[in-house]
A and B are shown apart, each in its own frame.
Chain A
Amino acid sequence: MESFFSKDYFQLFNFPAVYDIDRDALTQRYRDMQGLIHPDRFVNATEKERRMSVQLTALINEAYNVLKSPLARARYLLQQRGVDIDDSVTSKDIAFLTEQIELRERLEEARQGSNPGRALMKLAGELQKRLMELQLALEDAFLDESPDALEKAHRLYDEMQFISRLNDELDEIEDVLN
């Protein structure tokens, strides 16, 4: 039991610790594991086994959530490689800061414009596109073995996190509009 909780998420799924992960294979493995350990398989077992099943299933769920999400996976890999991620520290990258201000302004304009539904949809499309680009850039950065590659990955992660959050806010605004 302890050995499971001491494994990292990639080991748990028996996957190599890389960013460019095979999503379909991951999902298949996740389901196979669930088939073995899910509490539904232990309804008739002893109390101890039932409890362990809940904890193990929760662990597998957590690992799957992290590995399947491009953002959470990047964060996890960065932390695995010793990068200290502090969300409260603001970036000093001027280009990134400018992008943040611009995108925030555009979200505000879209919300207050004459046709918010359409403007928001257009912005959402752009954010999605940017997220895809960042994901590809992160794949490269994590493969790169040069000394400043991790720092680069960290910067890409910060940007991805900002855009994801903005995207969530946009979703909430759309939700209210509907």
Chain B
Amino acid sequence: MVLFQISEPGETQLQRQHHLAVGIDLGTTNSLVATVRDGHAETLVNAHGDYHCPSVVRYFADAPPVVGQEAKDAAYQDPLNTIASAKRLLGRGVADIETTANRLPYEFSSSDCGMPYIKTVAGNISPVAVSAEILKKLMEQAEADLGGELDGAVITVPAYFDDAQRQATKDAARLAGLKVLRLLNEPTAAAVAYGLDSGSEGIHVVYDFGGGTFDVSILRFSRGVFEVMATAGDSSLGGDDVDRLLAEWLLAEAGLTGEIEHRHLRRIIGEANRAKEALTTAASVQLSIETQTGEVWQGVLTRADFEALIDPLIMRTLRPCRRALRDAGLTTDDIQDVVMVGGSTRIPRVRECVAEFFGREPMVDIDPDKVVAVGAAIQADILVGNKPGDEMLLLDVIPLSLGIETMGGLVEKLVPRNTTIPVVRAQEFTTFKDGQTAMSIHVLQGERELVADSRSLARFELRGIPPMNAGAARIRVTFQVDADGLLSVSARELTSGVESSIEIKPSYGLTDSEVEKMLADSLLYAAEDVKKRRLHEQLVDSARLIEAVEAALKMDADGMLTNKECVTIKAALTTLKDKIQSEDIALIKAAHDKLERVTSDFAARRMNVHINEALSGKLLDQIID
């Protein structure tokens, strides 16, 4: 196998132990964790035998928060301290959520980082911290089940999440002490779960209508490669909206007006949710709610009335379907099958509308609640290195265009939506005034032409430009979107060769130092635990590095390294192995960085030689045959 020796030489793979890796579906309503055990992907159950963990966290003044069913059960008694649907707030700004927040039964406070914090008895809590609690709970559950600390996780995100929302998800994982192997788009994960089951080649649509988000992705599966052709969606449309619409209907029918107490509203939304679920099978449902005067209102909702009520929401999901088809350059005739994902696809009317739109019955073979976690687990197993020789590959896209503010409040798009990631794009800018030494760059995401209509991701201050006449400086700004769909930016002044310093301040999110501080102050783990977690993370990283370097030396030391280089690398390797025993995180980190540094040139040489060899036409032809 010419292919695999480059990154994963077979000999060391055999000696390598089985790595513990999980897939986590961090949902708006429920979250799940899955793993591959004995070659089979399965969702893990908690002590009560439940595979889904309600994405609800309840905070207390003087005790650690509780997560899951227990918290959800308390939502009626303690609505202000019980946080559900935090995913809707991830990576959002205060202004963004004004419309949503009015309908969410919490109290908010603004913060320096632009994110809305939720007021609780335990203090002001960021949505990132709420998500971290959920991740931590799932991680602990998995570790108890699998009998060891995790080497990493694949966490799924809605395909339509923007950069700030993705970054917030990754920050939550960091807070929870979870190593993220990859952020994976939910529809892509679902396709993986289905694709490997049926092994079917062709073009698939994944219609993912969850608790808080809607995504549609069109993927081509061919010879082990999943290629996302287009994705579209609405990151603030989900089953919650169905509940809310029903709750509003209930309020109107029961004649409730004006200000409604949080606790009361919770109960009404709960009743709406119950009615929705009952109507999946029943033709009508009995409803009863308490009015403000304490009387009990009773009524009946038929399925036909329910469907008429929610049809506008379902229609809102078809518009992204149309756009995704168009972006992929396809019509519904090209589609082989439609996969249904997410709890909201249990609603019969949703299935009907999707069947009508695509002209075929959608597939519901795998439990729509589990399919995303299962796909994520399969990908995690591959990424962590448990399946050497597996050639499955995912090629995903960026969901929303990235651009920069130009003169007149307009957006210049640098990376259009549905571009395959990773992607690197550069753009040159110049100065506007004589002697200008700094420049402000505003990064935006979205499809609209005006800055005012787009999502502000970050503002960059570029400093240290040598003073020149206006228009003489040439500043090259490079956008890089990695395989997680996350953006990073670098800049250089070209005429002088000066690397300009860049200051990144995410518009709605936490800076690295804020995450570090939260981690330090966190209620998530006691100080000892934080230390233990960090040491564990460092050990996992270092073990990985040692494996990679040993494999590389075995394969390529002869011919690619001088004796002197070889001795230097081996010495650094021995030092790191030695320091690992010390349990001193600073010492291990220093030895780790040293080994990275001394192998840097070797790594570059290997990449160059191997890829050149492999990509030369002759070898490629052998591979194709």
Q: Which residues of A contact B (CB under 8 A)?
A: 1, 3-4, 12, 14, 28-29, 31-49, 52-59, 61-62, 64-65, 171, 175, 178
**Chain A hits for B382, CB < 8 A:** 40
Task: Please state if B3 and A36 are interface contacts (CB–CB under 8 Å).
Answer: yes
In the complex, A87→B322 CA distance in Å?
31
Max chain A C-beta neighbours (<10 A), residue from B182, B480, B615, B616: B615
Contacts A31-B223, A44-B8, A48-B603; is A57 near B422 (CB within 8 Å)?
yes
**Which residues of B have CB within 8 Å of A40?**
182, 382-383, 393-394, 483
* CB<8 Å pairs between A and B, sample of 24: A1-B607, A14-B615, A14-B616, A31-B223, A36-B611, A39-B483, A40-B182, A41-B8, A43-B384, A44-B384, A44-B544, A44-B547, A46-B545, A46-B599, A46-B603, A48-B596, A48-B603, A49-B607, A58-B422, A58-B423, A58-B480, A59-B424, A61-B422, A178-B322
A62 touches B608 (CB 8 A): no
A65 to B418, CA, bound (A): 11
Say whether A45 contacts B424, CB under 8 Å. Answer: no
B181, A43: Cβ atoms under 8 Å? yes
Are B604 and A48 within 8 A (Cβ)? yes
Query: Given that A39-B482, A44-B8, A48-B600 are known contacts, is A56 also in contact with B384, CB under 8 Å in the complex?
Result: no
Q: Are B7 and A58 in contact (CB under 8 A)?
A: no
Evaluate contact between B603 and A52: CB separation under 8 angstroms: yes
Partner of A35, one of B182, B225, B322, B383: B225
CB distance from B97 to the nearest CB of A (A): 26
Q: Is the CB of A54 within 8 A of B483?
A: yes
Q: Is the CB of B607 within 8 A of A14?
A: no
- Knowing A31-B225, A38-B395 touch, does A14 contact B620 (C-beta < 8 A)? yes
The reply to whether B483 and A29 form a contact with Cβ atoms under 8 Å apart is no
| Complex contacts, B612 vs chain A, CB 8 Å | 3-4
Shortest C-beta distance, A94 to chain B (Å), equals 31
Q: Could you say which residues of chain A place their CB within 8 Å of the CB of B608?
A: 1, 3-4
Shortest beta-carbon distance from B612 to chain A in Å: 7
Extra inter-chain contacts (11) besides given A31-B222, A32-B620, A45-B603, CB under 8 Å: A4-B611, A33-B615, A36-B6, A41-B7, A43-B385, A44-B547, A45-B548, A47-B596, A48-B600, A61-B423, A175-B322
B204-247 to A contact mask, C-beta < 8 Å, 1/0: 00000000000000000011010100000000000000000000
Which positions 545-563 of chain B face chain A at CB distance < 8 Å?
545, 547-549, 552
Inter-chain CA distance A137–B227, complex, in Å, is 31
Which 5 A-B residue pairs are closest in the complex by CB-CB distance?
Answer: A58-B424, A48-B603, A39-B483, A14-B617, A43-B383
